Amino acid sequence: MKPIISPMDDVEELYQEILLDHYRNPRNKQPCHAFLLRAHQSNLLCGDEIVLGIELAQDSIGKIAFEGHGCSISQASASMLTEAVSGMTKTQALDLIEKVRHLTHGDACEEDLGDVMALKGVSKFPVRVKCALLPWMALKDALFQKNARPP
Ligand code: ZN
């Protein structure tokens, strides 16, 4: 008997591959101390640490980087985030953060958010939702540090 593969299984396999690719080859991972706008978030449950640094050019995200360590979900999510929000305005970025929050809680998403869609998989594992959202919370913090200066 042939195995029955539903379209859902294909999608989940693709999500897994996207997550692993970002975890193994993180995009924009570099020291963030030189960024004026940066934020740190940690997840004690899992030992995840994320520092996110951004530079605004006018009202758009001109440069973005992250550093950190932790589980594959948190690190892959940070890598996806840096690609997804690069060049976005602050409003667009905040809008995407909300969409990702809904996505990881299992809400339907009609829009194609690119690689970020792979985070939908964590909605089945409530303890991993915080891992996935960690870098997005750091981005929100960094965006609101309008007047941040280096220490
Ligand atoms: Zn984690």
Ligand 1 centre distance from Cα of residue 85 (Å): 21
Ligand 1 centre distance from Cα of residue 18 (Å): 17
- CA–CA gap between residue 79 and residue 67 (Å, rounded): 9
Q: Tokens standing for 15?
A: 């999500």
What is the reported pLDDT for 145?
81
Ligand 1 centre distance from Cα of residue 72 (Å): 7
Tell me how many degrees the CA angle 132-25-34 measures, rounded to the nearest 5.
Answer: 80
What is the reported pLDDT for 140?
96
What is the reported pLDDT for 151?
45
What is the full per-residue pLDDT of the chain (151 aa) written as tens digits? 555 555 567 778 889 999 999 999 999 999 999 998 999 999 999 999 999 999 999 889 999 999 999 999 999 999 999 999 999 999 999 999 999 999 999 998 889 999 999 999 899 888 899 999 999 999 999 999 854 444 4
Amino acid type, 88:
M
Question: 136 exposed, middle or buried (CB, 10 Å; 0-12, 13-18, 19+)?
Answer: buried
Q: b/e for 55-88, b at 16 or more Cβ within 10 A?
A: bbeeeebeebbbbbebbebbbbbbbbbbebbbeb
What is the reported pLDDT for 133?
97
Ligand 1 centre distance from Cα of residue 5 (Å): 29
- Residue 15: closest CA among 59, 72, 68, 92: 72
What is the reported pLDDT for 50?
97
- CA–CA gap between residue 35 and residue 57 (Å, rounded): 13
Ligand 1 centre distance from Cα of residue 75 (Å): 8
